[in-house]
């Protein structure tokens, strides 16, 4: 008896059908814990004035999505898009401007700027795209020497810096919401296996970084009808604390009603679920497998 060809096809498919479906590199959830997708992030970002992309500094998926969101937002916003980054300290702004205006060469910019060790792999693609399209990039982070000064002497240490240097930090005096978990948890853990040079002022050092980033986000174009896409470590914007808290304080002092959007990244073994605690961290949560090469825990 002749066996139908379809029978052999079905036999070949049995091992395939028994296998798991393709593995996902990430999944996106909203603050209600519901599965959404990248397009939902893009649509929300297109309607926002300030977008905080809370990354995991070593995660390749986070960096790739930052680049993709930059490209897609530029397609929507054009010259209304401004990028901001924790990865650049304010005293590097002149070098950034010179490079993006094509005044200096890329190799000279990279040789003179204070760049993170993973700059070439993770941030250069974004800066190169900004260079190509003429997108403004704002350095927002406090020069590290001033954060170290606060860690050593508290906010009082900033009294010793001159007027020019004060232009590189948030306006003084700095409010310090020490009850926020992002600062309270730092202070609580000081001395618990942490390096000896870290003091109980560490929460204040974190706060001066957040306040300064918020300050330069606002100065970077948020009040001029621009959309600011800001890249920072997730810890700085999770749970709408840190930079987000300081940005909201700054907005309240204006007559503007600016819409803030927060994105965060987390790593976990199973990306098909999310806890209520993690869902509350941001408007959108990108969940990435902890087995991903370059994951923070590795």
DSSP 150-177: HHHH-GGGGGGS-HHHHTTSPPSSPP--
Query: Does some domain include residue 164?
Result: yes
The predicted pLDDT at position 18 comes to: 45
Query: Does some domain include residue 22?
Result: no
Query: Does some domain include residue 296?
Result: no
The predicted pLDDT at position 296 comes to: 65
Residue among 199, 208, 198, 194 at smallest CA distance from 144: 208
The predicted pLDDT at position 222 comes to: 87
Domain count along the chain: 1
The encoded tokens of residue 264 equal: 């965060």
The predicted pLDDT at position 134 comes to: 97
**227, 81 in Cβ contact below 8 A?**
yes
| The pLDDT of residue 297 is above 80 | no
Angle (nearest 5°) at CA 292 between 88 and 71: 45
Distance separating alpha carbons of residues 50 and 27, to the nearest angstrom: 23
For 98-108, how does the pLDDT look when each residue is reduced to its tens digit (9 = 90+)?
999 999 999 99
Q: Read off the pLDDT of each residue in 42-48 and give the average, rounded to a whole number.
A: 98
Query: Does some domain include residue 104?
Result: yes
For 53-69, how does the pLDDT look when each residue is reduced to its tens digit (9 = 90+)?
999 999 999 999 999 99
Query: Does some domain include residue 19?
Result: no
Question: Residue with structure tokens 């020497």?
Answer: 145
Distance separating alpha carbons of residues 94 and 289, to the nearest angstrom: 38
Banded model confidence at residue 294, pLDDT cuts 50, 70, 90: confident
Banded model confidence at residue 191, pLDDT cuts 50, 70, 90: low
Please report, rounded to a whole number, the percentage of residues in the chain having pLDDT higher than 90.
82
| The pLDDT of residue 9 is above 50 | no
Q: Read off the pLDDT of each residue in 255-268 and give the average, rounded to a whole number.
A: 96
Query: Does some domain include residue 171?
Result: yes
The predicted pLDDT at position 188 comes to: 80
Q: Read off the pLDDT of each residue in 135-155 and give the average, rounded to a whole number.
A: 96
Q: Read off the pLDDT of each residue in 252-258 and give the average, rounded to a whole number.
A: 92
The predicted pLDDT at position 171 comes to: 94
Distance separating alpha carbons of residues 272 and 70, to the nearest angstrom: 26
Pairwise pLDDT comparison (15 vs 150), residue with the higher score: 150
Domain containing 283: what range?
Answer: 27-265+274-289
Query: Does some domain include residue 107?
Result: yes
Distance separating alpha carbons of residues 253 and 215, to the nearest angstrom: 12
Residue among 258, 227, 231, 52 at smallest CA distance from 135: 227
Query: Does some domain include residue 15?
Result: no
Instruction: Kindly report the CATH number assigned to the domain that includes residue 134.
Output: 3.40.50.11550
For 81-91, how does the pLDDT look when each residue is reduced to its tens digit (9 = 90+)?
999 999 999 99
Range of weakest confidence among 22-26, 118-122, 137-141, 208-212:
22-26
The predicted pLDDT at position 111 comes to: 97
The predicted pLDDT at position 20 comes to: 53
Q: What is the DSSP string of 59-71?
A: -HHHHHHHHHHHH
The predicted pLDDT at position 23 comes to: 80
The predicted pLDDT at position 192 comes to: 55
């Amino acid at each position: 008896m002749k066996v139908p060809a379809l029978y052999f096809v079905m036999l070949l498919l049995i091992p395939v059908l028994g296998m798991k479906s393709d593995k996902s590199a990430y999944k996106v959830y909203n603050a209600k814990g519901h599965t959404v997708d990248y397009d939902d992030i893009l649509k929300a970002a297109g309607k926002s004035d300030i977008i905080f992309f809370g990354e995991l500094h070593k995660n390749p998926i986070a960096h790739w999505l930052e680049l993709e969101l930059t490209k897609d937002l530029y397609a929507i916003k054009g010259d209304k898009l401004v990028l901001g980054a924790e990865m650049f300290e304010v005293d590097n702004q002149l070098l950034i401007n010179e490079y993006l205006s094509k005044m200096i060469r890329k190799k000279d910019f990279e040789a003179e700027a204070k760049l993170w060790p993973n700059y070439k792999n993770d941030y250069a693609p974004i800066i190169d795209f900004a260079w190509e399209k003429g997108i403004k990039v704002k350095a927002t982070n406090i020069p590290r020497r001033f954060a170290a000064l606060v860690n050593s002497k508290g906010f009082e240490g900033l009294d010793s810096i001159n007027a020019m240097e004060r232009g590189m930090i948030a306006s003084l005096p700095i409010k310090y919401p020490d009850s926020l978990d992002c600062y309270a948890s730092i202070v609580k853990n000081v001395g618990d296996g942490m390096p000896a040079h870290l003091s109980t002022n560490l929460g204040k050092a974190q706060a001066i970084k957040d306040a300064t980033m918020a300050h330069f986000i606002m100065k970077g174009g948020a009040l001029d009808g621009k959309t600011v896409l800001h890249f920072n470590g997730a810890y700085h914007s999770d749970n709408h604390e840190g930079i987000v808290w300081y940005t909201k304080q700054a907005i309240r002092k204006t007559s503007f009603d600016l819409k803030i959007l927060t994105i965060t990244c987390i790593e976990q073994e199973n990306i098909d679920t999310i806890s209520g605690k993690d869902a509350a961290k941001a408007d959108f949560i990108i969940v990435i497998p902890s087995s991903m090469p370059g994951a923070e825990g590795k």
